[in-house]
Chain A
Amino acid sequence: MALTNETIKSKLLEKFGESLSNFEEPYGLLSFEAPAGMNLKVMQFLYDDPELRFQFLTDLCAVHYPGQAGRELAVVYHLHNLTDNIRLRFKVFTSTQQPDIFTATQLYASANWMERETYDFFGVNFVGHPNLIRILNVEEMDYFPLRKEFPLEDQTRIDKDDAMFGRGGSIN
């Protein structure tokens, strides 16, 4: 019997009960939300259960929602069960004040760099990560650039001298 979204949902609810919320199926992909402290438990269950077998971590990234006080950062996991070929997505929310999330590196070796990237851009602190340092940005950087409070440069600014950038001429 092929694994369906309903089966996964009922198994998860049976195991974790009411703590999982916001079950949705946007574009056919099962998606739900777990409490911040439970991400590893949920992943371990999804990994170990003989029926679920979500043993492939497709993607891990974060999203910043500055408007949601206390749960500004969402860490999004995309998991894939390659045997039954079914995917799911789950999110955990944490605050920018104390962005602590358990690491998934014990389960998936691939999580190592993905978590470093997420730390680098959003400042999510993955507790238990073996080497949580910046990866794409310079080590001296003291902010997390993909957070929404860092706007891109204003495209209409006129205080730059274009001659310095090889475009010839200046605005004056």
Chain B
Amino acid sequence: MTEHHIKLPEGSIEKSTTTLNLGPTHPATHGVFQNILELDGERIVSAEQTVGYIHRAFEKLAERRPLYQITTLTDRLNYCSSPINNMGWHLTCEKLLGVRTPKRVDYLRVIIMELARISDHLICNSVVGVDSGAFTGFLYVMQYRELIYEIYEEICGSRLTTNIGRIGGFERDFTQAAFLKLEKFLKEYPQVLREFENLFSRNRIFMERTIGAGPISAERALNYGFTGPNLRAAGVDYDVRVHNPYSSYEDFEFSIPVGRTGDCYDRFLVRNQEMWQSLKIIEQAYRKIQEFKGAEAGVFHADAPSYYLPEKKDVYTKMEALIWHFKIVMGETDIPAGEVYNSVEGGNGELGFYLISDGGRTPYRLHFRRPCFIYYQAYSELTKGSMLSDAIIVMSSLNLIAGEMDA
């Protein structure tokens, strides 16, 4: 690699291009990425990515951990929308174990996952704004991400790395405070989102900066394994929620926004539209939850005593419950042998879990399909021939999360 960068072009007495190290700790990269850019003036001749700075060997660690202890690893993949990762992992385990969840659990999960999607897109889109010189939007929407985090906090007690839910449902029912906060969010957020759109969507400066920056055709995007908003911005309406519905997504009515050119502007618009769709889904789910009557209205987990952790107050007072708690956490319950691939629509694409169990306490092998690891390799093609400042904005509009990429 090094010899490549100091080699002089044939027949010249001086290297005519400039090598620029963008990252790994550049403030504009929003994460630990290194890009070795070869620049001709301000135009990018080639870009070479180096990844792996925060590789933590999750797949190896998972081979020693029972199912519940892996949930905390999934938090740390895409940490902008960790509830989706947690749910994806629990859904994978449920598929392997054959646990069926009640409808109310599914709807509660949908609410949490869509809130996480909003917070993910919110950050990504406002950071695109920051990188094109508009800081206001970023600060403005931050208070609504805070509100989303408060809802998480009401449900599971933590904010960023949530470790939310259990195999078969949730650790406790949503509190009244959680629903009140959700109502507040549903009431106030549409105006904020509309205002956020007004700041950017038809903003002349923003349009000039993003239209035509880092475009990709549908064909190339598919070949590069794009998924999620980045693929949809290129015009392919592939969405795991619709194509392989999980957690009762088939009960909801929503549309898949698509773009046309796959450039930064389309990616921005697609994410904005998806936030509107997520709001629609949350509203429907909340209405469905209010329709449950009687005993059904309090259901928050499946009846799966061998995998669902017993209630805490029983664990502290009853011996049986305490034993089961330890058995489950340490993976001493029966786990069938089998191979499962399960995927969910994560914040930035199809997040897949390929789990091989040999019937032991821990997975024999667990592989994460991390969407942004796969589509980041298109970065050099996306930025070839564009300006240096476009490289920054393309990177932020791809929604690259270092934690997910390096696993």
On A, residues with C-beta under 8 Å from B are 26-27, 29, 31, 55-59, 61, 63-64, 76, 78, 82, 85, 87, 89, 108-110, 112-114, 117, 121, 135-137, 145-146, 150, 152
Chain B 247-272 interface 0/1 with A at a Cβ cutoff of 8 Å (1 = within): 00000000000000000000000000
Distance of A93 from chain B, by nearest CB (Å) = 14
**B236 contacts partner chain A, Cβ-Cβ < 8 Å:** yes
- A63 touching B365 by the CB < 8 A rule? yes
Q: B341 and A82: CB pair below 8 A?
A: no
B340 CB-CB contact with A under 8 Å: yes
Can you name the residue of chain B whose Cβ is closest to the Cβ of A65?
Answer: B364
- B341 lies within 8 A of A78 (CB): yes
Contact A59:B238 (CB < 8 A) given known A110-B374, A145-B60: no
B-chain residues with CB within 8 Å of residue A146 when the two chains form the complex: 59-60
User: Max chain B CB contacts within 10 Å: which of A55, A63, A113?
Assistant: A113
Residue of A nearest to B96 (CB): A27
Q: Separation in Å of the A65 CB from the closest CB of chain B? A: 9
In the complex, besides A113-B376, A117-B373, 14 extra interface pairs with C-beta distance below 8 angstroms are: A26-B338, A26-B339, A58-B350, A61-B367, A85-B244, A87-B341, A89-B339, A109-B223, A109-B378, A110-B375, A114-B374, A121-B59, A136-B407, A145-B60
Residues of A within 8 A of B61 (CB): 152
Q: Is the CB of A136 within 8 A of B374?
A: no
CB pair B377 A109 closer than 8 Å:
yes
Output the nearest chain A residue to B243 by Cβ-Cβ distance: A85
9-residue interface stretch from B50-58, B146-154, B179-187, B325-333: B50-58
Q: Is the CB of A56 within 8 A of B352?
A: no
In the complex the two chains form, is B57's CB within 8 Å of A145's CB? Answer: yes
- List B contacts of A55 (CB < 8 A): 222
Closest B-chain residue to A138, C-beta based? B52
Q: Is the interface of A mostly helix, strand, loop or mixed?
A: mixed
Within 8 A of A (CB), among B343-359: 343, 350, 352, 354, 356
Q: Mark B95-116, 1 if CB is under 8 A from A, else 0.
A: 1000000000000000000000
Could you tell me the distance between the alpha carbons of A118 and B212 in the complex, rounded to whole angstroms?
Answer: 34
User: In the docked arrangement, what's the CA distance between A87 and B61, Å?
Assistant: 28
Chain B residues in 8 Å Cβ range of A27: 95, 338-340
User: Distance in Å from the Cβ of A112 to the closest Cβ of chain B?
Assistant: 6
Residues from chain A with Cβ under 8 Å of B225 in the complex: 56-58, 108-110, 114
CB of A81, distance to nearest CB on chain B (Å): 11
How many chain B residues touch A (Cβ–Cβ < 8 Å)? 40
- Structural contact, B52 and A59, CB atoms closer than 8 A: no
**A111 CB, nearest partner CB in chain B, Å:** 8
Interface centre among A59, A89, A117 (most CB of B within 10 A): A59
A98 to B356, CA, bound (A): 24
Contact indicator A108/B223 (Cβ below 8 Å): yes
Question: Within the complex, which residue of A59, A112, A136 is in contact with B341, where a contact is CB–CB below 8 Å?
Answer: A59
Q: Mark B4-23, 1 if CB is under 8 A from A, else 0.
A: 00000000000000000000
6 contacts between A and B (CB under 8 A): A29-B341, A63-B356, A82-B222, A113-B376, A117-B373, A150-B60
B237: nearest chain-A partner, CB-CB: A82
For residue B32, give the distance in angstroms from its CB to the closest CB of chain A: 12
A78 to chain B, nearest CB (A): 6
**Does B64 sit within 8 A of A, measured CB to CB?**
yes
Contact residues in B for A26 (Cβ distance below 8 Å): 338-340
Report the bound CA distance from A78 to B225 in whole Å: 12
How far does the Cβ of A85 sit from chain B's closest Cβ, in whole Å?
5
A136: chain B residues at CB < 8 Å are 51-52, 55, 406-407
**What are the residues of chain B within 8 A of A63 when measuring CB–CB?**
356, 364-365
Assembly CA distance A61 to B238 (angstroms) = 23
Proximity bits, B386-407, A CB within 8 Å = 1, else 0 = 0000000000000000000011
Taking the complex as formed, is B173 at the interface, i.e. its CB lies under 8 A from any CB of chain A? Answer: no
| Nearest CB on A from B359, distance (A) | 14
B135 contacts A by Cβ under 8 Å: no
List chain A residues, Cβ under 8 A from B121. Answer: none
Q: Which of the residues A58, A85, A121 comes within 8 Å of B369, measured between beta carbons?
A: A58
B243: A residues at CB distance < 8 A = 82, 85
The reply on B140 being an interface residue by CB < 8 A is: no
Contacts of B283 in A (CB 8 A): none
